[in-house]
Structure 1
Amino acid sequence: MKAARYHDRGDIRIEEVPEPVVAPGTVGIEVAFCGICGTDLHEYLDGPIFVPPHGHPHPISGEAAPITLGHEMSGTVYALGEGVDDLAVGDSVVVEPYIVRDDVDTSTANDSYHLSPDMNFIGLGGRGGGLSERIVVQRRWVHPVGDLPLDEAALIEPLAVGYHAFQRSGGSAGDVALITGAGPIGLLTAAVLRAEGITVIISEPSPLRRRKALETGVAQHVLDPTTQDVVAEVLALTDGVGADIAFEATSVQPALDTLVEATKPRGVVVVVSIWGHRGELDVQKLVLKELDLRGTIAYVNSHPATIALAREGKVDLKPFITGVIGLDELVDAGFDTLIHRNETAVKILVDPRR
C-alpha cells in the first residue's frame, strides 16, 4: 500500500509499504481522510522533533525514521482482531493516536497518561500513520463516531486538542478569551470555547483566516495585529480589565508577548502550539500580574466529549475543511501550501486512495 514516509527534515517520500497485520486486541482501519497538522509541518521544517531520528529507535515503538506520518485520521473498520467484540466491520471511527507503555493506566481514572515517560504519537513515533491506505491500532485508541461524516471526523483529533486546552485554562461560561492565531488549532479551540459560552477574541494577520473566524462564528471579535493594537483593543472590549484566559496558537514570539500584556492580572495563558525553537518570556510581567502560564499537550480522555460536541451540532467542523488532496500531492499541494501560502488554507485533508 502507499504511505507518506518521513525520512528526515525536508525529506518526505510517498512509498510502497507492506499492509499492517491485524493482531489480537487491535482494529484494522481503512483510512478515509487524514489532516495535515502543524506538528507535521514542524517536523518537515525543523525536525525531527517527535519523529525518532534514523538510528535512534523510539523506546516504546522500537521504530526510527523513516516512519509513516499522519495522526489526524478517520476511517472505516475493515477487520477486528481476536478479543475485540465491541466494534463492527464498517463502523466509522477516529484514532486517539498515542504511543505509551503497556503498563500505563489509560482509563478514565488517570488524567495524565499523556504525560507518561517516552509518550509519543502514532504517525510521528511509529506504529503506522494516517497518511497511508490502512492502519492497525490497539482497540483502546479507537473511538466510534456514529454518523458523523468522515471528512469532518478527521478534525476530531485537533478539536480534542482545543478541548483539552480549554480544560487546562479553567475557563467557564461568561469568560473572555483571547487567541493568537486562527490556524486550525486556534479556530478549533475557539469553536470549543464558543460552545462552552465563552466570548472569543482572535488576533490573526491572514485575511482569509480572519474571515473564516467570522464566517464560522467561532469569534465575536477578530483583530488584525498588523494594523491594530491588539492589547489596546482587548482592554477596550473588557472595560480595561483584560482577557480572563488566553491561548497561544502560533509559536510566534510577538503573539506570546501580546498575550502576557493583554491578559488580566491573575489570568491564565495557555501555550497550545508546538515550538520548534526557544521562546522568551518577560518573567517580571508574569510576576507582577500573578499570571498563570500553562502548557498543554494533546488531550487526555477528551475524545468522547469532543465527538459529542460535533455530533450534537455544538461545533460545525465542515467549514474548516478548505481542501482535499491525494497522497501523491502531499508535499506540493499540501505542505507547500501550508508553509508558503498558509493564508489561503485552513485545514487540508488527504484522501489516501484518491
Structure 2
Amino acid sequence: MKAARYYDRGDIRIEDIPVPEVTPGTVGIDVAWCGICGTDLHEYLDGPIFVPAHGHPHPISGESAPVTLGHEMSGVVYAVGEGVNDLAVGDHVVVEPYIIDPQYSTEPGTNYHLTPNMNFIGLGGRGGGLGEKITVERRWVHPIGNDIPLDEAALIEPLSVGYHAYVRSGAGEGDFALIGGAGPIGLLTAAVLKAQGLTVAISELSALRRQKALDSGVADYAFDPSTVDVAEEVRGLTDGAGADVAFECTSVNVVLDTLFDAVRAGGVIVVVSIWGKPAQLDMQKLVLKEVDLRGTIGYMGNHPETIRLVQSGKIDLKPFITGKIGLDEIVDKGFDTLIHHNETAVKILVSPSGAGL
C-alpha cells in the first residue's frame, strides 16, 4: 500500500509498505481522508519533535523514523480482530490517535493524555492516516454512524482539541470568549464555543481568515489587531469588564499579551497552541488581575461528546475543508500551501487511495 513516510526535517517520501496485520483486539481501517495538521508542519519544518529520530525508538511504540504520518483520519472498517464484537465491517469510524503506555488506565475520567511518554499515532509510530490502511487498537476507534460525511469526519480529531480546550476553560453559556488566531484550531475551537452558547470574538491578522470566521458563523466579531485595539474593542462589548475566557491559538507572544489585556479580572486564558520556543509573560498582569492561565493538550475522553455535537447539527464542518488532494500531492499542494499560503487554506484533506477525488 502507499503511504507518506517521514524520514527527517524536509524529507517526506511516498513509498509502498506492507499492509498492517489485523491482530486480536484491533480494527483494520481503510482510510478515507486524513487532514494535514499544524503538528505535521512543525515536524516538516523543525522536526523531528514528536517523531522519534532515526535510531532512537519511542519507548512505547518501539519505532523511529521513518514513520507513516497522519493523525486526523476517518475511514471504513474492513476487518476486525478477534475479541472485537461491537464494530463490524463497513462501519464508519474516526480514530483517537494516542500511543499510551499500557501500564496506565485509559478508562473514562483518567488523565491518560498526561501519562509519561504519551505520543500520537501518525507521529510516534503505529501507522498513520496518510497511508491507505491502518490497524488500530479497539479502544481508540470511535464509530460515527452514517450521517457524518467521511470528509467532514476527518475534522473530528482537531475539533476534539477545541472541545477539550473548552472543557479546560470552565466557560459556559452566555460567557464572552476571545480567541487569538483564526487558524484551523482557532476556528474549530470557536465552533465548539458557539455551539455551547458563548459569544465569540476572534483576533486575526488575515482578512481571509477573519471573513471565514464570520461567514461560517463561528464568530460574532472578528478584529484586525493591526488596525484596532482588540482589548479596547472587547471591553466595549462587555460593559468595560473584558472577556470571561480567552484562547491562545497561535504560539505568538504578542497575541498572548493581547489576551492578558483583554480578559477580565479573574478571567481564564487557555493556551491551546504548541509553542516551539519559550514565551515572555507579564507576571504583573497575571497577579494584579488574578488571571487563571491554563494549558491544554489533545483530548481526554472528548471524542464521543464531540461526535454527538456534530451529529446534532450544531456544528457544520464543511466550511473548514478548503482543499482535497491525493497522496502524491502532499508536499507541493499540501505542505507548501499551508506553509507559504496559509491564509488561503484552513484544512487540506488527503485521500491516501485517491478515492473521492
After the TM superposition, which residues 124-163 of structure 1 pair with which residues of structure 2 at under 5 Å, given as runs?
124-147=123-146, 148-163=148-163
User: Partner of 2:319 in structure 1?
Assistant: 319
TM-score by length of 2: 0.98
Deviations along 1:106-157, one digit per CA (max 9) or x if unpaired, are 11142x1100111000001000000110000000000000011100100000
Letter matched to residue 245 of structure 1: V
Q: TM-score, normalised by structure 1?
A: 0.98
Verify: 1:328 aligned to 2:328, yes or no. yes
| Alignment partners' CA distance in 1, 2:312 and 2:231 | 35
Aligned to 1:119: 118
Query: How many percent of aligned residue pairs carry the same amino acid?
Result: 72
Structure 1 residue 33 displacement after superposition: 0.2
Q: Between Structure 1 and Structure 2, how many residues are aligned?
A: 353
- String of CA shifts for 1:310-340, please: whole Å, max 9, x gaps: 0110101111101100111111101111111
Shift of 1:288: 1.1
Task: State how 1:296-311 maps to structure 2 within 5 Å.
Answer: 296-311=296-311
- Displacement, 1:229? 1.4
Task: Name the structure 2 match of 1:179.
Answer: 179
Alignment correspondent of 1:285: 285
CA contact (8 A) 2:257 2:281 kept: yes
Q: Which portions of structure 1, spanning 4 or more consecutive aligned residues, are displaced by more than 3 angstroms? A: none
* Counterpart-to-counterpart distance in 2, 1:336 and 1:284: 40
Equivalent position of 1:199 in the other structure: 199
What RMSD, in angstroms, separates the aligned Cα atoms of the two structures? 0.8
**What is the CA-CA distance between 1:278 and the residue it aligns to?**
1.7
2:267 aligned with 1:267, yes or no?
yes
Deviation at 1:286, TM superposition (A): 0.7
1:1-80 map, 5 Å = 1-80=1-80
TM superposition shift of 1:301 = 0.4
Structure 2 CA distance, aligned partners of 1:312 and 1:109?
A: 24
User: Which one is further off, 227-236 or 310-319?
Assistant: 227-236
Distance 2:302 2:57 in 1: 29
2:104 and 2:89 mapped to 1: Cα distance? Answer: 28
Which string of whole-angstrom CA distances, capped at 9 and with x for unpartnered residues, describes residues 162-213 of structure 1?
0000000000001000001111100110000001110000011111111110
Query: Does the 8 Å CA contact 2:109/2:301 hold for their aligned counterparts?
Result: no
Name the CA distance, whole Å, in 2 between partners of 1:323 and 1:36: 10
For structure 1, which segment, 271-280 or 155-164, has the greater mean C-alpha deviation from structure 2 after superposition? 271-280
Q: Secondary structure at the match of 1:192?
A: helix
Provide the rounded CA distance (Å) in 2 between the counterparts of 1:330 and 1:121.
20
Structure 2 counterpart SS, 1:33: strand
Structure 2, unmatched stretches of 5+, are: none
> What are the superposed Cα offsets for residues 86-111 of structure 1, whole Å, 9 maximum, x if unpaired?
0010000000000001121111142x
Q: Distance in 1 between matches of 2:45 and 2:185?
A: 19
Shift, 1:236, TM fit:
1.1
